[in-house]
Amino acid sequence: MRIIVVGQGPFGAKVLEALVRKGEEIVGVFCPPDKRGEALRDLAERSGIPVFRPNQMRDPQVYVDYAGLYPNLVVLAFVTDIIPARLLSIPSLGTICYHPSLLPRHRGASAINWAIIQGDARTGLTIFWVDEGIDTGPILLQKEIEIGPDDTTGSLYFNTLFPMGVDAMLEAVQLIREGKAPRVPQNEPDATYEPPCDDTVAEVDWKKPARDLYNLVRGCDPQPGAHTNIKGKKVRLYDARLHIGATEKPPGEILSIEKQGLRVAAREASIEIGKLRVDKGEKAGPMEFAQSVHVKVGDRFGD
């Protein structure tokens, strides 16, 4: 089975590595021309696999290169570019893609972020057959996991969804080879689609319920970092813990500053922040942060 791998970053490289180790016939690798594609390029070159690094997958030359490789299957391993419809018609068996949610819930580029931000108790991954929509194709397989009460987007991805996704890709390819791969239509009434998780959605509104704030901080950790302001500085919050129990202080007020955390009042609770980052600086512990920004107990975020 002749396979093309399209991807980037550590996940793309790990999927390629796993396929090569399984003895799959990889006839070409497509990855971005910048640093996102470097790990995948390096591995492909060491494995003697032709590498193509187009600026965009819709570049006309990509169609020519794709067709010239005569693929049976295309595997998308972390792809942020749009795959044009005419490329989907080239592989004889189709194109499959990894997505870190239980489709049709959380379609879009920030699925893990939104699962945490919206307070989901469970999430997972989907390997699906790519069609012309955004994460809309038939489901090949899914794996479900719990979201822990202190999970962040980073911990959920790197500790669970990343390694599980590599294994799921291998399982999907095996099912396709054996002619046993299902194509289960997604249930459209259950579909959700959220925008990218960026600064436009990552601002902390201290008037909201504490659980919502806690989920926002976890869902934006490590990127883009939930942000608030104090002393004229934009501050990003990481490594949060939720402490249930009402305080007499208004939401956003700093209750304590200790080595292990900076505690902030919220509605019917308080939130302890383990790391903070000012503007484009480095992450710092609470004591270092307080010294650098000249904040003290009683000061208030969001003013």
Between vectors from CA 292 to CA 290 and to CA 295, what angle results, nearest 5°? 35
- Do 262 and 113 belong to one domain? no
- Do 170 and 247 belong to one domain? no
- Do 54 and 119 belong to one domain? yes
pLDDT at 172: 98
pLDDT at 144: 98
- Do 250 and 287 belong to one domain? yes
- Do 222 and 129 belong to one domain? no
How far is the C-alpha of 297 from the C-alpha of 284, rounded, in Å? 17
- Do 162 and 64 belong to one domain? yes
- Do 37 and 176 belong to one domain? yes
Neighbouring-strand partners of residue 258: 261
- Do 160 and 30 belong to one domain? yes
Last residue of a domain, one of 155, 190, 225: 190
Asked if residue 116 belongs to a domain, the reply is: yes
How far is the C-alpha of 140 from the C-alpha of 180, rounded, in Å? 10
pLDDT at 279: 86
Report residue 197 as tokens.
């998780």
How far is the C-alpha of 278 from the C-alpha of 6, rounded, in Å? 36
- Do 155 and 184 belong to one domain? yes
Strands across the sheet with 2-7, in order? 51-52, 25-30, 2-7, 73-77, 94-99, 122-129, 139-146
- Do 244 and 110 belong to one domain? no
Within 10 A of 300 (CB to CB), how many other CB atoms are there? Answer: 17
Read off the pLDDT of each residue in 212-233 and give the average, rounded to a whole number.
97
Indicate if the pLDDT at residue 4 is higher than 80. yes
- Do 15 and 161 belong to one domain? yes
Range of the domain at 268: 210-293
Asked if residue 89 belongs to a domain, the reply is: yes
Furthest CA-CA distance within the chain: 69
Read off the pLDDT of each residue in 287-295 and give the average, rounded to a whole number.
96
Under 8 Å between Cβ of 219 and 117: yes
Asked if residue 299 belongs to a domain, the reply is: no
Cα–chain-centroid distance for residue 268?
31
Asked if residue 303 belongs to a domain, the reply is: no
pLDDT at 303: 75
Asked if residue 77 belongs to a domain, the reply is: yes
Asked if residue 202 belongs to a domain, the reply is: no
Indicate if the pLDDT at residue 269 is higher than 90. yes
Asked if residue 243 belongs to a domain, the reply is: yes
Of the candidates 83, 297, 109, the residue with the CA atom closest to the CA atom of residue 197: 109
Asked if residue 36 belongs to a domain, the reply is: yes
CB neighbours of 169 closer than 8 A, spacing ≥ 6? Answer: 15, 18, 19, 75, 77, 96, 98, 127
pLDDT at 115: 98
Read off the pLDDT of each residue in 115-128 and give the average, rounded to a whole number.
98
Read off the pLDDT of each residue in 75-89 and give the average, rounded to a whole number.
95
Report residue 256 as tokens.
């304590």
pLDDT band at 246 (very low <50, low <70, confident <90, very high): confident
pLDDT band at 43 (very low <50, low <70, confident <90, very high): very high
- Do 222 and 186 belong to one domain? no
pLDDT band at 24 (very low <50, low <70, confident <90, very high): very high
Of the candidates 280, 281, 249, 277, the residue with the CA atom closest to the CA atom of residue 263: 249
How far is the C-alpha of 285 from the C-alpha of 303, rounded, in Å? 22
Q: Helices in the chain by DSSP H: which ranges?
A: 9-21, 38-46, 60-69, 85-88, 111-117, 153-156, 162-177, 210-219, 286-293
| Mean pLDDT for the chain overall | 97
Q: The domain spanning residue 285 has which CATH number?
A: 3.10.25.10
Number of separate domains in the chain: 2
Q: The domain spanning residue 42 has which CATH number?
A: 3.40.50.170
